[in-house]
A and B are shown apart, each in its own frame.
Chain A
Amino acid sequence: MSALFIALTILLTVAMIGAALVAVLGKSMPIAILSAGLVSLLASVLFLLLAAPDVAMTEAAIGSGLTTFLFFFILGRVRGGEHD
């Protein structure tokens, strides 16, 4: 395990915790959704570094792609319903 690898891992982990805090504590809903997607994206980079490309791909496709899109879609539906 090289020093660069450890530094990168710690950087990714800290960024993930930061993004998760933004997602939980932030007031704006779109920013919260984006940071939740960012947590998944950083997790998938971490999986890639840990030599698990298959898991990284699942995380990127489902956690970061599909779920973020789905949240935005539902957010649009919920907001659209407010005017009725």
Chain B
Amino acid sequence: MIRKFAALLLLAGIAAIFMGLLFTYEPDPELNTTARYYAERTAADIGAANIVTAIVVTYRGLDTLGEVTVLFLSAAIVGLVLASGRRKKTAKERTVTPAGELLATGSTLLAPLIMLLGVYVFVNGHLTPGGGFQGGAIIASGMLLLLLTDPLKHFSHTLIATVESLSGILYVAIGLLGIFLAGGFLDNRILPIGTLGTLFSAGAIPLIYSLIGLKVGAEFSSILAHLSETEEL
């Protein structure tokens, strides 16, 4: 009874806070200083048609490096915890019910297309909405579809780990190149800015975002592969 009352009280408190936010909210008539700087200078300075990407990869590139690191840490911890729970018996001996005809045929057709869409999303991150994180998650969804069809499927951990570490190292290396060749860490102007709106524009952004996409995709895939191979579930 007391617990229910406390939960209701907590809900009422949260509702009061949100009501306050809702009724005192007034949209700004114009962009504030930072937003106006980004809106006006992105096309000239960064050359990216998608302002969000310019902020995520270049203006706030260090934060993105931090986010990728957090994701890497969680993937590493999942691997550590699940690998210690794995027994000698391999996952091959597990009995599974075979996937239905619809899922088996559908995933054969769809998985390559889904992965292609993921690559498209992160390669075009500087032109259209989306980017490395979204593309990586889409690639991992394709992997998960394959795992749903055949739970005993074995992905090469060596390949996943190699892709993950290589893209991570290259990401930091490109960032360091920015210090020597351009204005600072993760500056995208180490490559020519090009024409606004074309695929090969915005300097190093397509390169960096592709590396982020591969890294995120590999991290998610390693989590999924560990989950599928563990016996302790």
Cα distance A70–B94 in the bound complex, in angstroms:
19
Q: Which of A2-10, A15-23, A71-79 contacts B (4 or more CB under 8 A)?
A: A71-79
Cα distance A76–B121 in the bound complex, in angstroms:
30
B46 to chain A, nearest CB (A): 16
Interface residues of B in 116-132 (CB under 8 A from A): 121, 129-131
Residue B115 lies at the interface, judged by CB distance under 8 Å to chain A:
no
B140 close to A54 (CB less than 8 A): no
B148 close to A58 (CB less than 8 A): no
B141 close to A54 (CB less than 8 A): no
A54-B52 CB under 8 A given contacts A69-B144, A74-B227: yes
A side interface size, CB within 8 A: 19
Residue B158 lies at the interface, judged by CB distance under 8 Å to chain A:
no
Q: Which residues of A contact B52 (CB under 8 A)?
A: 54
Residue from A54, A56, A69, A72 within 8 A of B131 (CB atoms)? A54
B144 close to A73 (CB less than 8 A): yes
A69 close to B130 (CB less than 8 A): no
A14 to chain B, nearest CB (A): 16
A6 to chain B, nearest CB (A): 13
A54-B228 CB under 8 A given contacts A66-B220, A80-B96, A80-B97: no
Residue B147 lies at the interface, judged by CB distance under 8 Å to chain A:
yes
Cα distance A57–B38 in the bound complex, in angstroms:
21
Cα distance A74–B228 in the bound complex, in angstroms:
8
B133 close to A72 (CB less than 8 A): no
Residue B22 lies at the interface, judged by CB distance under 8 Å to chain A:
no
Residues 41-68 of A, flagged 1 when their CB comes within 8 A of B and 0 if not, give 0000000000001101110011001100
A65-B137 CB under 8 A given contacts A53-B129, A72-B148, A74-B227: yes
B122 to chain A, nearest CB (A): 11
A74-B233 CB under 8 A given contacts A53-B129, A57-B121, A66-B220: yes
Cα distance A54–B224 in the bound complex, in angstroms:
24
A28 to chain B, nearest CB (A): 19
Residue B186 lies at the interface, judged by CB distance under 8 Å to chain A:
no
10 contacts between A and B (CB under 8 A): A54-B52, A57-B121, A69-B141, A73-B144, A73-B227, A74-B227, A74-B233, A76-B148, A80-B97, A81-B233
A interface residues (Cβ-Cβ under 8 A, vs B): 53-54, 56-58, 61-62, 65-66, 69-70, 72-74, 76-78, 80-81
Q: Which 4 A-B pairs have the closest CB atoms?
A: A53-B129, A61-B137, A57-B130, A69-B144
Further pairs besides A62-B133, A78-B233, A81-B233: 12, Cβ < 8 Å: A54-B53, A54-B131, A56-B129, A58-B133, A62-B137, A65-B137, A69-B144, A69-B145, A73-B224, A73-B228, A76-B148, A76-B151
